[in-house]
Structure 1
Amino acid sequence: MLEAINVGLEVDAPPGSEQESLYLLREVSLSVPQGHLMAIVGPSGCGKTTLLKVIAGILEQTDGALKWEERDLKEEEDLHPGELGYVPQFSVAHDLLTVEECVASSMALRTQLPGTDDFEPKLDHILSITGLTDLADRRVKVLSGGQKRRLGLALELVTNPCLLLCDEVTSGLDPKSEHEITELLRVLARENKRRVVINVTHSLASLEAFDSVLVMYQGHLVYHGPPKLLTHYFTVEHPEDVYRRLTMREAQAWHESWQKKRSYYEAMLLEKKDEEEPGADAAKTASEEDEETASDGKKDEHHPLASEELPGLFSQVFTLLSRRWTIFRRDRGQVWLHLAMLIGFPLLVVIFALDGIKPLKQLNQRQDSDIVYEMQRQAQHQLDQLQAGSIVSGLIMLQVVLVTLMASNNAAREIAGERLILEREKLGGLSTLAYVISKVLFLGVFVLAQSIWMGVFVDMVVGGLPGDLIVKLALLVLASAAMTSVCLGISALSRTPEKATILSIYLVGFQLPLSGAVLTLPDWLEGAVNPFIAAFWSWSGSLRSMSDTSFYDAVKQVTETSLVTPELAGFVLLAHVIIGLCMTYVGSKGSQWE
């Protein structure tokens, strides 16, 4: 049984409010027997979804207690991820995956069934009971609203949860689809005697399909009883009139009235019925037939409500990485964009050095007796040095900036773009560390490919940039890795992909002017800014690596910025990588449910 005892949720009031705090839920008490389907209804903003999130553990109540089978979920052990299923109102699947791939991926992330004989029968059973068998090979992006709701349910059924919470899975659907989803919820509630299914809904059209209806109003519970008594309790003719009726009294008055009559109505729900309601036998039979079909004539051997053991860290990493590469390969736009940058950006760099870098000649120390000629010779040497220094410094900085631009493009939307999917999978037992590792491995391929190809291609075309190629490549890789990890951290901390993209673009935009490669910053500002500019360290360290060549003096003539050793540059860039990864972990670990 699920019990809520005087559950309340108090939050800080918005700025400018006269109150210091605001109650989103107040004194919510209810009892829901197992094998039960309950609807939560009420006007917009009344606390329906808030209550559901409190039950799911997404939000923690500030007052009262929540109990499952006499276990206090706040004071004692929480529900195992396999015991809880939460279906949000938004789509929680990647558009480019097929229905079967989504369900199989969910099973791989939440159970240890992949690779066993039970995997395929379990997968077939889930697709069958949710009516998705014929849509198994269809991609998510072409599914209708009702089909996506079914998929959301299928993703949660992989662990056979004993508590299935649905947030408006019937909203926005046509009457036929709404009826089908409601009937599916009824089947799921009936297929196991220990399961509780709760659905938040705005619609009052299909309440007769539910075992009970809970009405919320301004954070208060004002009714919880059989749907057939709803109109009687509120003294209205039709369920649709309940919302209008609620506005005729204060929420506290409704709540106090309910408290007086609560025991009578809830007693009716907790009574053991001698006969199931019409349609229950059919639902149970359909469920049993699905189980028999899915297991080739044998009933599902898995305990319906057993807490599945979560897979190990590396198993989750492999699943996430495999899924990410599948999505990338199918996203033609991203594939072509990456190819265009991989080929086009190095070409953009070498356009500025098509004539190559001419070797610098040492100035002859012999003084010519012709003063005019001697001045012309020294002036030409000075000009050659300035030109060589400018082109070398410019080519190095252009490579660095373009590499950081590619890094920003790679990582800016990587987490923010799938944030809601991440939240749902974390609730189901996904390890944050496994998620971060999968992103590092996926983006690491682009870091290596883009930066190494940039350095090697430019070096070959221009006839060899001065300095150690290995050192320059290492600094390019570290610059790319630094920008990738920091932008990934921004993506993890941002609430929307648009915000993450804008912040990442700003970050790259400041690299060139603040690096000191074009305009020298004041000394007092240079020391304060340089530690945060990845481009400065890669550019500066690469130029310093030329100290044994004739170009070093030429480079020093075109920049007044202090150059650092490659070792120091590499150390600082590595620190950027570590800081970015810490940001990524913290941002991914935190909750950002809508």
Structure 2
Amino acid sequence: MLEALNIGLEVDAPPASEQESLHLLREVSLKVPQGHLMAIVGPSGCGKSTLLKVVAGILEQTAGDLKWEDKDLKEEEDLHPGELGYVPQFSVAHDLLTVEECVASSMALRTQLPGTDDFEPRLDQILAVTGLTELADRRVKVLSGGQKRRLGLALELVTNPCLLLCDEVTSGLDPKSEQEITELLRVLSRENPRRLVINVTHSLASLEAFDSVLVMYQGHLVYHGPPRLLNHYFTVEHPEDVYRRLTQREAQAWHESWQKKRSYYEEMLLEKKEDSLPADKAPESEEPDKKDAPQLASEELPGLFSQVFSLLHRRWTIFRRDRGQVWLHLAMLFGFPLLVVIFALDGIKPLQQLNQRQDADIIYEMQRQAQHQLDQLNAGSIVSGLIMLQVVLVTLMASNNAAREIAGERLILEREKLGGLSTTAYVMSKVLFLGVFVLAQSLWMGVFVDMVVGGLPGDLIIKLVLLVLASAAMTSICLGISALSRTPEKATILSIYLVGFQLPLSGAVLSLPSWLEGAVNPFIAAFWSWSGSLRSMSDTAFYEAVKQVTDTSLVSPELASFVLLAHVIIGLCLTYVGSRNSQWE
């Protein structure tokens, strides 16, 4: 049984509001038996979805007690992820996966069935129960609204949950689809005697299919009873008139009226539940016998590396099918290095040491020294510019790789975390996936440019390491921004700004004031990769040439590597924190 006693939820009011706090829920009390289908209805903004999120554990009540099977969900441990199914009102699947792949992925992340003989039968059973067998090979992006709602239910049924919470899964559907989804919910509520199915809905059209209806109004519970008594309680002719009737009294008045009659209606619901059970199965209390209830599909969550592998497999499948992204990555991989070498197609000419012997012809001697100085300036500019252009383009690719990676699938991540997905596994999968791009893009950039220009001065290995670290640093920082952002658009804009600051603040084009240089440099990844690469040329003639075109203090490759590694670590910490924090709509 689900039991709530005086549940309240109070949050801080918006800054523009005159109130200090808002009460989203006030003194909500109810008892709902298992093997039951309940609808939560009410006008927009009345607290329907908020109450559902409190039951799911997404939001924590600020007052009252919530119990499931006599277990206090606030004081004791929350429900096991396998016991809870939560179907949000938004799409919870990747558009480029098929229906069968989505369900199989959910099973891989939430159960230990993959690789066992029970996997395929369980997968087929879920598709059959939700009416998706004929759509198994169809991609999510071509599904209708009703089919996506069925898929959302299928994703939660992989663990055979005993508490299935649905947030407006019938909203926006045509009457026929709404009726079909409601009938499916009724079937699911009867499939497992331990299961309670709760559906939040704005529609009052199919209430007769529910065992009980709970009406919310301005955060108050104002009715919970059989749908056939709804019209009588509110003295209306049709259920559609209930919302208009609610506006005729204050919410507190409705709530107080309900409190006087609550016990009568709750006893009616519990008695009806007992009467519906066979005589030899009737329990002494209103709860069904847990010994006769079906067990969960898998009570143990898969291990960390199993989740990592499942996430990686899914991510690569999505990437391969996104032709736009594939072509964009290929264009950057091969186009950006070509853009760099355009500026040095003639190669880099070796610098000659200035002969110390003075020529007797003063004019000739001045011309010779001026030409040598010009050669040094040109060589220094070309070498410094090529190194910086490589670094900036590598960071631009890194930003493109990571900016939308988490923010673009944020709502899917939230649902999967609620189902038991490890944040560590999720972050590890992103690191491994993006790590391939980091290595491919930075190594190819460095090797290709070095081959075409006939070899940049300095140690190639050091330059490649610093390019990889610059790419990894920008990737991890942008991934952290993506994890902390609420929308992919916001994450993209912030990442673009971050890359845009790399060139002007690196000191490669114009030197910064000395008082500003020390404050800015630690945060500019491009500076460290560029500076460390140039410093690796210290034993060549080009080093002095480079020093003549920049006043920026160059740092050793060792120090540059250390700082870039610090950027990587900071970015990964931001990624973990951002991924772990809840960002439900």
**Post-superposition offset of 1:16:** 3.0
TM-superposition CA deviations, 1:100-122 (whole Å, max 9, x none): 00000000000000011111110
TM-superposition CA deviations, 1:197-248 (whole Å, max 9, x none): 0000000000000000000000000000000000100000000000000000
Do the aligned partners of 2:189 and 2:195 also contact (CA within 8 Å) in 1? yes
1:422 equivalent to 2:418? Answer no
TM-superposition CA deviations, 1:416-449 (whole Å, max 9, x none): 0000000000000000000000000000000000
Matching residue of 1:146: 146
State the secondary structure of the residue aligned to 1:11.
strand
Do the aligned partners of 1:408 and 1:483 also contact (CA within 8 Å) in 2? yes
Give the counterpart letter for 2:75 in structure 1: E
1:346 equivalent to 2:304? Answer no
**Post-superposition offset of 1:270:** 0.5
Matching residue of 1:458: 449
State the secondary structure of the residue aligned to 1:197.
strand
1:478 equivalent to 2:469? Answer yes
1:506 equivalent to 2:506? Answer no
Matching residue of 2:74: 74
State the secondary structure of the residue aligned to 2:182.
helix
Distance 1:303 1:391 in 2: 72
Do the aligned partners of 2:193 and 2:293 also contact (CA within 8 Å) in 1? no
TM-superposition CA deviations, 1:368-390 (whole Å, max 9, x none): 01000000000000000000000
Matching residue of 2:101: 101
Do the aligned partners of 2:46 and 2:219 also contact (CA within 8 Å) in 1? yes
State the secondary structure of the residue aligned to 2:344.
coil
Matching residue of 2:400: 409
Matching residue of 1:111: 111
Matching residue of 1:215: 215
Give the counterpart letter for 1:377 in structure 2: R
Matching residue of 1:225: 225
TM-superposition CA deviations, 1:32-55 (whole Å, max 9, x none): 000000000000000000000000
Residue 570 (structure 2) aligned to one of 565, 572, 579: 579
**Post-superposition offset of 1:302:** 10
State the secondary structure of the residue aligned to 2:193.
coil
**Post-superposition offset of 1:305:** 3.9
Distance 1:547 1:192 in 2: 74
Change (3 A) 1:78 1:153: same
Matching residue of 1:174: 174
State the secondary structure of the residue aligned to 1:259.
helix
Q: How many residues align?
A: 571
Distance 2:14 2:272 in 1: 46
Residue 364 (structure 2) aligned to one of 373, 376, 380: 373
Give the counterpart letter for 1:135 in structure 2: L
Do the aligned partners of 1:192 and 1:304 also contact (CA within 8 Å) in 2? no
**Post-superposition offset of 1:522:** 0.4
TM-score, reference length from structure 2: 0.97
Matching residue of 2:583: 592
Distance 1:273 1:557 in 2: 88
Do the aligned partners of 1:353 and 1:391 also contact (CA within 8 Å) in 2? yes
Q: Which stretch shows the higher mean deviation, 454-463 or 7-16?
A: 7-16
**Post-superposition offset of 1:18:** 2.4
Distance 2:119 2:53 in 1: 30
Matching residue of 1:292: none
Change (3 A) 1:365 1:274: closer
TM-superposition CA deviations, 1:494-517 (whole Å, max 9, x none): 000000000000000000000000
Question: What does 1:6-85 correspond to in 2, within 5 Å?
Answer: 6-85=6-85
Distance 2:297 2:100 in 1: 23
State the secondary structure of the residue aligned to 1:117.
coil
Give the counterpart letter for 1:268 in structure 2: M
TM-superposition CA deviations, 1:457-477 (whole Å, max 9, x none): 000000000000000000000
Distance 1:302 1:67 in 2: 19
TM-superposition CA deviations, 1:146-167 (whole Å, max 9, x none): 0000000000000000000000
**Post-superposition offset of 1:97:** 0.4
1:309 equivalent to 2:300? Answer yes
**Post-superposition offset of 1:276:** 4.8
Distance 1:226 1:144 in 2: 32
**Post-superposition offset of 1:307:** 5.7
Structure 2 regions of 5+ residues with no counterpart? Answer: 278-291
Do the aligned partners of 1:11 and 1:24 also contact (CA within 8 Å) in 2? yes
Question: What does 1:514-529 correspond to in 2, within 5 Å?
Answer: 514-529=505-520
Matching residue of 1:261: 261
Distance 1:587 1:559 in 2: 39
Change (3 A) 1:537 1:5: same
Distance 1:341 1:555 in 2: 28
Structure 1 regions of 5+ residues with no counterpart? Answer: 278-300
TM-superposition CA deviations, 1:545-592 (whole Å, max 9, x none): 000000000000000000000000000000000000000000000000
RMSD: 1.1
State the secondary structure of the residue aligned to 1:24.
strand
Matching residue of 2:323: 332
State the secondary structure of the residue aligned to 2:223.
strand
Identity %: 90
Do the aligned partners of 1:207 and 1:213 also contact (CA within 8 Å) in 2? yes
Distance 1:331 1:275 in 2: 55
1:163 equivalent to 2:163? Answer yes
TM-score, reference length from structure 1: 0.95
Distance 2:294 2:434 in 1: 40
Matching residue of 2:185: 185
